[in-house]
Amino acid sequence: MRRLPMWVGLWGLAACDNPCQEVCGHMATVAAECGVNFSDAEIAQCEDDFAAVASDRSQTCAEFGSLDVIRNEWSCDDINLYRDAMDDAAGGGG
């Protein structure tokens, strides 16, 4: 019996993500390029938060949530401000 590589199965699961869930990974990628890291758990929570979205919101994510658009719209300063705000909201200071 021939077994498929694990990434083939994971790719199949990823294809089920809606555009807003995909933004979570794109934002994490851009943040990492700025030296700001989000944990796997934070990314998973983001994806869970956006598991069910209205069609108009999904369309907005599809239009403005690509990796290239996020790179063009978010500076590293923006990413750092966002991360600081998340830390403050969690009680972690900044």
∠ CA 52-32-92, rounded to 5°: 75
- Distances 11 to 8, 70, 72, 83 between C-alpha atoms, Å: 5, 22, 26, 28
**pLDDT tops 80 at residue 11:** no
**pLDDT tops 50 at residue 74:** yes
Q: What is the mean pLDDT of the chain?
A: 84
Residue 93: the pLDDT is 58
Q: How far apart, in whole angstroms, are the C-alpha atoms of residue 71 and residue 16? A: 24
Domain ranges of the chain: 15-89
Higher local confidence (pLDDT), 69 or 14: 69
HEC assignment per residue over 10-49 = HHHHHCCCCHHHHHHHHHHHHHHHCCCCCCHHHHHHHHHH
Residue 68: the pLDDT is 96
Q: How far apart, in whole angstroms, are the C-alpha atoms of residue 40 and residue 71? A: 20
Residue 5: the pLDDT is 43
Residue 16: the pLDDT is 56
Q: What is the pLDDT of residues 39-72, one digit of tens each?
A: 999 999 999 999 999 999 999 999 999 999 999 9
